[in-house]
Amino acid sequence: MKQIINILFFLTGLFLISCGNNNEIEEKKTNIHEHSGSPHQIELDGSLKDKNIEDYFKDIYRREKIVKADDSKMISITDSLFTSNKLNDLFYFIVFTKSMNGSDGFYSEAVGHSAFKFVTTKTDFFADYFNIAPKLNDGDMDNWANYIYGEIQIARENQEAGAIDELEQKVLDNIKYNRKEYKIIIEKLIEKIRKAHNISS
């Protein structure tokens, strides 16, 4: 009888230890889940910790709007948009995009020119960033559409509708061999550009 009681105590002890380990494992899983982000957010967090990136860019990223500074520093935002640094390119794209909020004067002119150039020469990057970036939203794409349309107005006054058609053909050609998600994003951008011109497709 005593032997049976000892066995029962032993089995109860094993059961309690097992429950404790399971709880600990579940707790660790929860902590990992809480503190892990998407690969893209991890990449962006790395850019925020990168000492080679100016605090000025990080400030815009966090505030999600332009931060007034001297002309050369503000223009450096548009230059950074075309970086070849694959570790920080998404970060710089978001900084440029958020800098559209509250921009005016000479900086707005630089933004419009850079936005149009980027969309027409790096269409796949634009589509990819809007497909994956955790910080970009529909209002950000509205800003891109408005700035691109502003450039069209300057270059093709009274010919805007035709210019938008040409732009659509060009950017869709640029991504015709890319992922199908890209086409959806680019079509959405073109639709917003048409809306900025008060015309529908």
pLDDT tens per residue across span 138-155? 999 999 999 999 999 999
**Cα dihedral 161/195/132/63 (nearest 10):** 120
Whole-Å CA distances, 196 to 51, 62, 117, 143, 158: 39, 28, 18, 10, 14
Q: Which amino acid is at 100?
A: M
* Cβ contact 156:163 at 8 Å: yes
What pLDDT was estimated at residue 200?
57
CA–CA gap between residue 83 and residue 90 (Å, rounded): 10
The residue among 12 and 158 whose pLDDT is bigger is 158
Q: Which residue has the tokens 């548009």?
A: 78
> With 80 as the cut, is the pLDDT of residue 56 above it?
yes
Tens digits of residue pLDDT in 65-115: 999 999 999 999 999 999 999 999 999 999 999 999 999 999 999 999 999
